[in-house]
Amino acid sequence: MRKHFLFLLLVICARQLVFSNNKLFGEELSSELLSHLYLNVSIGNQFYDCLSPDYDFVRASTNYYSSYESKTLSYYFDQIFADVKIEYRFFEEKLWLSSGLRYSNLLSSLGKYAYYENSSDYFYLTTNNDENTSNFYRVQNIDYSAHYLGLPIELRYSPFSLRFIRVFFKAGTEFNFLFQENKSVDFKTTEMENYEGDILDLFDSSPGLYGSVYLGAGIHLGRPGKTGFRLEANFPVFPFCSGSFGLVEPVFGGGAEFSIVFPLKF
């Protein structure tokens, strides 16, 4: 409920910023300019294909020779985002340039995939070893949840329209900055939770700067100058970051985005 309230507040503030006496940053906005400006509120999700992490402190788990990985770990990297953007349409309303503020939640997880019914759902990980002892820990999952605030920049090209449906293509990039990170380890036995810090120390943290470049296409429902709805697919999405991606390494991805677009001039 609190999240919904904050989101609504953000939308209202953005609109107020533009509408208040038709002034933006103290400068008078012409009616003509306003007619080309839209407020774009979006939510989206992106899944990434990841590289197999080859951690030398994780015990292998296949009992046959194959060209596949000897560590049957499962992993994913997912981005959920919501943003508020101002969109400026020009070149006979065929080009739409937008930018704003984006909140992203990057979720990544490393676990054990049970290929067969008698496979275990945990993997063995080793740390705190000495000359005489090998310590194994049974871990079911390691989860990261990283929160970012960022700046998306997107350019859409809408070559044609059919009544109130417009098809468009887009190219975009985003730069996100980490402001909070939560990590957790699910052990096979809860008694081992005291060792969570030791396990997490083995893995890199989420990157301070995370971004991506992407292409996409979609449809916009609504007449020019009216409130519209937009559904678009992002593919491919190529991520980049400062240093290590953290738990797993995403290679490329794709996703979907839904937006409500408000005209700034009624």
Partner 1 sequence: MRKFVIYIFLFAIISCADDTELTDSIYVADSENPELTAYSEWGYNTFGIVYERNVFTYSNNVVPLKVIVDTNYVSFLMQGQMNYDYMALKISIPDSSITSYQDLLNYNNTIISLAAEDIFVEMIEENTSYKLNILSGELNFLSIKRLMVDNIEEGIILSGEFNLKFVKEGIPESMSNGRFDFAVNDAIFFAF
Q: Does 186 bind partner 1 (CB under 8 A)?
A: no
Q: Which two tokens stand for residue 40?
A: 């774009």
Cβ of residue 137: shortest distance to partner 1, in angstroms?
6
Looking at the Cβ atoms of 45 and 72, the one nearer to partner 1 is: 72
Cβ of residue 19: shortest distance to partner 1, in angstroms?
59
**Number of neighbouring beta carbons within 10 Å of residue 2:** 6
Looking at the Cβ atoms of 19 and 55, the one nearer to partner 1 is: 55
Site string for partner 1, 29-68 (x = CB under 8 A): ------------------------------xxxxxxx---
Q: Which two tokens stand for residue 98?
A: 């937008």
Which phi-psi region, left, alpha or beta, contains residue 37 (left: φ > 0; alpha: ψ -120 to 50)?
A: beta
Q: Does 77 bind partner 1 (CB under 8 A)?
A: no
How far, in Å, CA of 83 to CA of 32, rounded? 26
Cβ of residue 209: shortest distance to partner 1, in angstroms?
36
Q: Which two tokens stand for residue 184?
A: 């957790």
Sequence letter at residue 167: V
Cβ–Cβ < 8 Å for 68, 54: no
Judged by CB under 8 A, the residue of 153, 192, 209, 217 near partner 1 is: 192
Cβ of residue 185: shortest distance to partner 1, in angstroms?
13
Site string for partner 1, 138-177 (x = CB under 8 A): x---------------------------------------
Looking at the Cβ atoms of 103 and 123, the one nearer to partner 1 is: 123
Q: Does 193 bind partner 1 (CB under 8 A)?
A: no
- Which DSSP symbol is given to 9? H
Judged by CB under 8 A, the residue of 90, 91, 115, 136 near partner 1 is: 136
* Total residues interacting with partner 1, rule: CB under 8 A: 28
Q: Does 113 bind partner 1 (CB under 8 A)?
A: no
Q: What is the CA radius of gyration of the chain?
A: 23
Question: Which residues make beta-bridge pairs with 3?
Answer: none
Cα three-residue angle 195-199-203, rounded to 5 degrees: 160
Cβ of residue 192: shortest distance to partner 1, in angstroms?
5
Characterize 194-203 residue by residue with b for buried, 16 or more Cβ atoms within 10 angstroms of its Cβ, and e for exposed: ebbeebeeeb
Looking at the Cβ atoms of 112 and 166, the one nearer to partner 1 is: 112
How far, in Å, CA of 239 to CA of 211, rounded? 6
How far, in Å, CA of 139 to CA of 124, rounded? 6
Q: Does 187 bind partner 1 (CB under 8 A)?
A: yes
Q: Nearest to residue 239, comparing CAs of 106, 66, 92?
A: 106
Looking at the Cβ atoms of 21 and 132, the one nearer to partner 1 is: 132
Give the interface with partner 1 as residue ranges (CB under 8 A): 59-65, 70, 117-120, 124, 126, 129, 131-138, 187-189, 191-192
